[in-house]
Amino acid sequence: ELKVEQNPLFLSMQEGKNYTIYCNYSTTSDRLYWYRQDPGKSLESLFVLLSNGAVKQEGRLMASLDTKARLSTLHITAAVHDLSATYFCAVGLYGNKLVFGAGTILRVKS
Amino acid sequence: GAVVSQHPSRVICKSGTSVKIECRSLDFQATTMFWYRQFPKKSLMLMATSNEGSKATYEQGVEKDKFLINHASLTLSTLTVTSAHPEDSSFYICSARGELAGGPRDTQYFGPGTRLTVL
């Protein structure tokens, strides 16, 4: 059974600071997704990582994938309040199924 | 703009009644749609995979007779919660797998979700 572990589960950070969210998974996969969810809303796709060593950046967020270590990271640079949300990683399985991590609640304080 | 819609966005029903939730892909054909449920402050749990023209595949522990899924066309899947009870109250989210012109391949697009409250 695939397990997807995110940490930390809750992150409170000051504006302007940097931090990394980690996503570890227990079985082979070459597809890793990051999503953002605002309270009461559905999921917004942030990144799709499809190969070992993939790195993608959008604004203050950068995601990477190491399939050998079964690890993906979401790095936040110079956080701003608008980044406050819940962030999920999800691992792709056969049949295009996704298994989600528990989510990281991010609160950026001014 | 939104590429997957869900209807209704919120529904309140009495215990014992049935509720139908629609999921539509708006700008692409989705051969596969997925249904998830999410409890407050929790992650998404896959309930079932819906393929157009065939029976849905349910995840372990999900009652197929309670959560009826129909994928009648390449742009529409429906989830019917039959004989709903308060423990069925949850946030139900659908997603559709497909490719938008110019978009990333092999990605799922999520609907806005339906909040079901069973009294």
The shortest C-alpha distance from A79 to chain B (Å) reads 22
Nearest chain B residue (CA) to A50? B106
Residues of A in contact with B93 (CB under 8 A): 42-43
The answer for residues whose C-beta is within 8 angstroms of residue B60's C-beta and 6 or more apart is: none
Instruction: Please identify which residue in the block is written with the tokens 């999410």.
Output: B38
> What is the mean pLDDT of the segment spanning A83-101?
91
Pairing of the two strands B67-73 and B76-81: antiparallel
Both tokens of A36, joined, read 């953002």
d(CA B63, CA B18) in angstroms, rounded, equals 15
What does the pLDDT profile of chain B (119 residues) look like in tens digits?
568 999 999 999 999 999 999 999 988 888 889 999 998 888 899 999 998 888 899 999 999 999 999 988 889 999 999 999 999 999 999 999 876 666 666 678 899 999 999 99
- The pLDDT assigned to B97 comes to 85
- The pLDDT assigned to A41 comes to 87
R_g of chain A computed on alpha carbons: 13
In this complex, how many residue pairs, one in chain A and one in chain B, have their CB atoms less than 8 Å apart?
55
Residue-wise pLDDT for A21-50, tens only, equals 999 999 888 789 999 999 888 899 899 998
Residue-wise pLDDT for A42-90, tens only, equals 899 899 998 888 999 999 999 999 999 999 999 999 999 999 999 999 9
Nearest chain B residue (CA) to A105? B41
